[in-house]
Amino acid sequence: MKRYCLLFTTTLILLIVTSCKSTSEKEVNVDTVSNVFDTVMPIDTIPVDTLVPPVGKFATAEAAMEYMETSGHWDKFKDGIIPRMTRENLPYANKLLTSKYKRFIVVDKGKMKVQLYDRYGRKELEYGMACAKNFGTKHKKADSRTPEGFFSVEGIYDSTDWLFTDDNGVTSPKKGQFGPRFIRLRIPTTSQIGIHGTCAPWSIGSRGSHGCIRVTNENILELVELVEVGMPVIVNPGSRDMRVNLEEGVDVPYITTDNKPIKIPKVIKKDTLNVDSLPLDTVTTIDIKHDSIIANDSIVKNQEPKTNVEKVETKEQTDTIVKE
């Protein structure tokens, strides 16, 4: 009899323990699920990096607009330049919408500004700049032009000790002529164009370089902290650049970064055109085909940039830029 009582008591204890353990496990699971839902963030508070780029490119501006409007981030897109860009220059907008980078740069040769935008097209920073003394996009080495198109950042370099070498092969012993940093642009036709500092800050706002884009040393140090290798860079032509490009039969796409329409020059036969004699307000309502020429982001072999550069003499001081 005692044996049966002992067996019954043991069985009862086991049943009680098993029941308690099962209840405990169920409570833990419920709490875990509850915590998961409690930590889900509303769409409005999702970090920037959670924006999922579209797969493939949009065939129409309407399709690109629909993506932005239904992305959960329209409140950010609507305050930026990309919605307008989809109507002006869909190929450029496609590249930005499918970019994995948090920001992009616009070098505006018309406004003489270097502008940094977030991935939604909202302007974060703007600097005055200097660019090449000759108008129009770059065609060949040493033509003193700043190339125009859609490019990317090839590399970021400490240019503090870089020296200048002129066309005759004479190297200046003076250091610091490129400022403290050099952002090299990935351009199919050259590896020597970039955004850099300068030892001649008074030149900012002028057309005085041989191809590169200059900003002040303070600005370049701030900019490189936000730049990533590979991020997009748009070099946008001004109205006089467009006039020269059209004269030479080159159609470079453009964008507008504000609500002011860009002045598009008339198409005039080359043999009857003297660019320098044209007034700056010579414009027409013709539309340029934005998608005809887009610089290919072909990969340039990653190499240390050459230090063979040209000197620019202005007034009583000398600045330098990369030789092109």
Cα–Cα dist 36/59, whole Å: 39
Cα–Cα dist 291/28, whole Å: 59
Per the structure block, which two tokens stand in for 28? 């833990």
Strands 131-132 and 207-209: parallel
Q: For 131-279, where are the E strands, in sequence order?
A: 131-132, 149-158, 181-186, 194-196, 207-209, 213-214, 232-236
Q: What was the pLDDT predicted at 324?
A: 42
Q: For the chain, where are the E strands, in sequence order?
A: 103-108, 113-118, 123-128, 131-132, 149-158, 181-186, 194-196, 207-209, 213-214, 232-236, 309-314, 317-322
Q: What was the pLDDT predicted at 286?
A: 31
Residue 114 phi, psi dihedral angles, 5° rounding:
-105, 120
CATH code 3.40.50.150 for 102-322: no
CA–CA distances in Å: residue 143 to residues 136, 171, 323: 10, 20, 10
CB neighbours of residue 127 within 10 Å: 20
- Helix then strand then coil, in percent of the chain rounded to 5, is 30, 20, 50
Give per-residue pLDDT as tens, 276-322.
444 443 333 233 333 333 333 332 333 344 444 443 344 333 343 34
Residue 197 phi, psi dihedral angles, 5° rounding:
-80, -170
CB–CB of 169/211 below 8 Å? no
Per-residue b or e along 58-72, where b marks 16 or more CB atoms closer than 10 Å to that residue's CB: beebeebbebbeebe
CB neighbours of residue 277 within 10 Å: 6
Please, what are the averages of pLDDT over each run of 10 residues along the chain (324 residues)? Answer: 53 53 37 31 45 84 96 96 95 96 97 97 97 94 92 96 72 86 94 92 92 96 97 96 94 89 59 43 34 31 41 39 41
Instruction: Tell me the helices (H) and strands (E) count for the chain, helix number first.
Output: 7, 12
HSE (CB half, 13 Å, CA atoms) of 281?
A: 0
CB neighbours of residue 38 within 10 Å: 7
Q: Delimit the domains of the chain by residue range.
A: 56-98, 102-322
Closest CA to 139 of 249, 232, 255: 249
Q: Specify which residues 181 forms β-bridges with.
A: 158
Q: Look at the alpha carbons of 63, 64, 69, 73 in this order and tell me if their dihedral is positive or negative.
A: positive
Strands 103-108 and 232-236: parallel
HSE (CB half, 13 Å, CA atoms) of 272?
A: 4
Cα–Cα dist 83/65, whole Å: 7
Tracing tokens 């030892």 back to the chain, one arrives at 199
